[in-house]
Structure 1
Amino acid sequence: MIKYIKKKIFLLIIVVPLVIFSIYQLLLASPRYESKVQLTIQQPDGMSTMDPSMALLSGLGVANNSQDIQLVQSYIHSSDMLNYLEDNLSIKEHYTDNQYDIFSRLSKDSSYEDFYQYYQQLLTIEIDEKSSTISVYAQAFEPILSYEIVNAISERSEWFINNIGHQLAEAQLTFIKKEHQEVEVRLQSAQKSINDFQNKHNLLDPETESMALSQISYSIEGEIAKKNTELTALQALMADSAPQVLAVKNELNSLKSQLIKEKSRLTDSQSSESINNVLSEFANLKIDLELAIRSFTSSTVSMEKSRIEAYRQLKFLIVVDQAKVPEKNKYPEVFYNISLLALLLIIFSGTMKIVFATINELK
């Protein structure tokens, strides 16, 4: 009697479930086809396409694609990718089709969360760190659809990578161009101030004008010294009322008046037209212009660096292994699934026997 019960238990625990599962796997389970596409991300070889000095300036080095690969992986698993596939391929309609078995297909009244989870289950991504490649596998009940899904994923991932690179580059360039325009306006303003100042005072270069006036003053002082010497010599020979003496005195007085006038042009602090005041104001304007030129030069270099950085940020998704339409289904793996279930049932049965034997011994 006990042996009969044990046989019944063995049938119930192992044989019946295994037979039912085998019938499902062999006869009822809908075949699922899997397509694969292999991708990698490359960046332009900036070092070979730019001036060596700008390459040093930009600090270009070897790019690490691992983060980009991880980013693509996250995007493929994202709801945005699922929405894209649904909009272009109507994959939910395919996965909920009643012609496929109830255990494999998605329920027609499933929520978006259920659909998203189902999508994750039918999608496999493998990353090879050494070669920096990403392999994408997609399953469908029809071979052509699995092929279309991985192709769509490849195209959308390429758009995603390009879009990120262009957005970052555009944001960076927009900011630096705005800053450069402000610097350029300041430079133009400084140049205009210099030109207006020169036109106002009718001077091309106040520094040169100052040197010229100084030379004139020195020349007049030399003439005065000569006339003083001449006057002293005449006074030693003639009376002060002599015509020659009076003539030299008049010339000397004229030279002294001219010297005072020329020096006042240089040093009169009360007059805005004095050369010293003009020279001081011009020096301030020149400093402003030099600072504006330096800022403009620095901004130009920064803009060039940003352009190079934007070039670096451009990435290209390259298909290493093109997707192909599968000729035979990969899932379900009938032999593997049945063997695995049989092993699990045997383990479970053995465990139950040990439990029952232990209970009997305790009695």
Structure 2
Amino acid sequence: MQRRHRLTILSLGIWVVLPVIALAVYLYVFAADQYASTVGFTVRTEETGSAMEILGGLTSLSSASSSDTDVLYKFIQSQELVREMDATLNLREMFRKPAADPVFSLSRDSSIEDLVRYWARMVRIYYDPGTGLMEIESRAFDPEDARAISTEIFARSTQMINTLSAVARDDTTRYAREELDTAVERLKEARQALTLFRNETQIVDPSADIQGQMGLLNSLNAQLASSLIDLDILIETTRESDPRIEQARRKIAVIEKRMSEEREKLGVGGNHNGRAYADLIGQFEALQVDLEFAQKAYLSALSAYDTAQAEARRQSRYLAAYIEPTLAETPLYPQRAIILLISAFVLFGTWAVSVLIYYSLRDRR
């Protein structure tokens, strides 16, 4: 065997064989087993139709919400979630369990940024935007730890979806609630103004009061007509000195005076507690119009608020799990054989290319 062949074989052993053997020893002796727990879920939007739609069979049962799933996809990879789960489950302690495996375990002096990077290695997310299905594989050095991580991820994701749903409901009903509050205040003010008017004038309903005044005027007018007729009869049938004529004239004068006073109360030069009846009626009608408008505005705002609440209830989000967190019985990671094969292939390839380059340069000399 020529010297260059021996050197080639020696380089193969140093470059490929020894590293592969060292890697195999580490993988099968020192590398700790990793267990995987899987959980699968999707965000569903329940759309409950109105009563007529339900009777007509037009209700849409549920549909996947891809936008919310996109939010979850980012949330599960976020530092916020990792920090919260570390506080709940003590992730650092879980990922540091194999003391003899510095390659696949978390370092002892890891920061939150290191933990987030390690989290990306140990928690794999498989997401299909078309269907909205999300499947998460959580790894740990203990099967119970792996399932605990998957369970906590599902719980945190459910909490996030509930928060998003609550925010959406608040956004849907907030404007309607503000309009309803404004309408309620306007209705209260209109009722208080009408009550204040009645307390000041001691009149519950000027329309009813004026009807009474008009009835009195009509009665006085009838009495005046009757008295005038009686006076005419007395003048024609008796002497001028008859005392009944003077009495009839006094009665007519009294009736006319009373009628004048009653007309003044109705706004013709007179007043009621210092205010003309016409002004009182005008103010009362204005207050009545304000009250009616406030009542209609309140009913409209109440209807809009009920509609907004119904719409918010009609579209509710929830997290539906199609795979509950699993408990592993056999370790799936690290995939020792695959790692060895890939490493051997890469080392052999780089060695072969290096040898070819070396001999090519040597032959050109």
Q: Same fold (TM over 0.5)?
A: yes
SS in 2 for 1:327: coil
Partner residue, 1:117? 117
Aligned pair partner of 1:22 in 24, 27, 42: 24
SS in 1 for 2:146: helix
CA RMSD in angstroms, aligned pairs only: 3.8
| 1:138 to partner: Cα distance | 0.5
Distance change >3 Å, CA 240–CA 44, structure 1 → 2: farther
Distance change >3 Å, CA 81–CA 209, structure 1 → 2: same
Determine the C-alpha separation between the residues in 1 that align with 2:158 and 2:204.
60
| 1:325 to partner: Cα distance | 1.4
| 1:139 to partner: Cα distance | 0.5
Q: Is the 8 A contact 2:97 2:141 kept in 1?
A: no
Determine the C-alpha separation between the residues in 2 that align with 1:79 and 1:348.
38
| 1:174 to partner: Cα distance | 7.8
Q: Is the 8 A contact 1:161 1:316 kept in 2?
A: yes
SS in 1 for 2:296: helix
User: How many pairs are equivalent?
Assistant: 355
Partner residue, 1:57? none
Q: Is the 8 A contact 1:265 1:273 kept in 2?
A: no
Partner residue, 2:266? 266
Bigger shift: 198-207 or 278-287?
A: 198-207
Q: Do residues 207 (structure 1) and 207 (structure 2) align?
A: yes
Bigger shift: 165-174 or 145-154?
A: 165-174
| 1:42-61 mapped onto 2 (5 Å cutoff) | 42-47=44-49
Partner residue, 2:66? 66
SS in 1 for 2:42: strand
Determine the C-alpha separation between the residues in 2 that align with 1:98 and 1:121.
16
SS in 1 for 2:266: helix
Q: Is the 8 A contact 2:36 2:146 kept in 1?
A: yes
Unaligned 5+ segments in structure 1 are: 54-59
Distance change >3 Å, CA 147–CA 253, structure 1 → 2: same
Partner residue, 1:35? 37
Partner residue, 1:97? 97
| 1:289 to partner: Cα distance | 1.5
Partner residue, 2:153? 153
Sequence identity (%): 19
Q: Is the 8 A contact 1:269 1:277 kept in 2?
A: no
Aligned pair partner of 1:331 in 323, 330, 333: 333
| 1:213-252 mapped onto 2 (5 Å cutoff) | 213-214=213-214, 216-217=216-217, 249-252=249-252
Determine the C-alpha separation between the residues in 2 that align with 1:321 and 1:180.
44
Please tell me the residue identity of whatever aligns with 1:336: I
Aligned pair partner of 2:313 in 288, 311, 314: 311
Determine the C-alpha separation between the residues in 2 that align with 1:72 and 1:171.
20
| 1:130-209 mapped onto 2 (5 Å cutoff) | 130-166=130-166, 169=169, 180-181=180-181, 183-209=183-209
SS in 1 for 2:188: helix
Q: Do residues 294 (structure 1) and 296 (structure 2) align?
A: yes
Please tell me the residue identity of whatever aligns with 1:261: E
Determine the C-alpha separation between the residues in 2 that align with 1:320 and 1:278.
73
With structure 2 as the length reference, what TM-score do the two structures score? 0.78
Bigger shift: 66-75 or 238-247?
A: 238-247
Bigger shift: 216-225 or 106-115?
A: 216-225
| 1:34 to partner: Cα distance | 0.6
Partner residue, 2:57? none
Distance change >3 Å, CA 294–CA 79, structure 1 → 2: same
SS in 1 for 2:49: helix
What is the CA deviation profile of residues 16-46 of structure 1, one whole-angstrom value per residue up to 9, with x for unaligned ones? 3333333333443222111101122334443
Distance change >3 Å, CA 216–CA 351, structure 1 → 2: farther
Partner residue, 2:82? 82
Partner residue, 1:108? 108
SS in 2 for 1:330: coil
Unaligned 5+ segments in structure 2 are: 54-59
Determine the C-alpha separation between the residues in 2 that align with 1:239 and 1:352.
158
| 1:234 to partner: Cα distance | 7.9
| 1:75 to partner: Cα distance | 2.5
Determine the C-alpha separation between the residues in 1 that align with 2:44 and 2:61.
14
With structure 1 as the length reference, what TM-score do the two structures score? 0.79
Q: Is the 8 A contact 2:41 2:323 kept in 1?
A: yes
Bigger shift: 311-320 or 99-108?
A: 311-320
Determine the C-alpha separation between the residues in 2 that align with 1:345 and 1:169.
58
Bigger shift: 213-222 or 111-120?
A: 213-222
Determine the C-alpha separation between the residues in 2 that align with 1:269 and 1:339.
114
Determine the C-alpha separation between the residues in 2 that align with 1:22 and 1:351.
24
Q: Is the 8 A contact 1:86 1:92 kept in 2?
A: yes
Determine the C-alpha separation between the residues in 2 that align with 1:137 and 1:221.
100
SS in 2 for 1:267: coil
Distance change >3 Å, CA 142–CA 246, structure 1 → 2: same
Determine the C-alpha separation between the residues in 1 that align with 2:214 and 2:96.
99
Partner residue, 1:283? 285
Bigger shift: 275-284 or 235-244?
A: 235-244
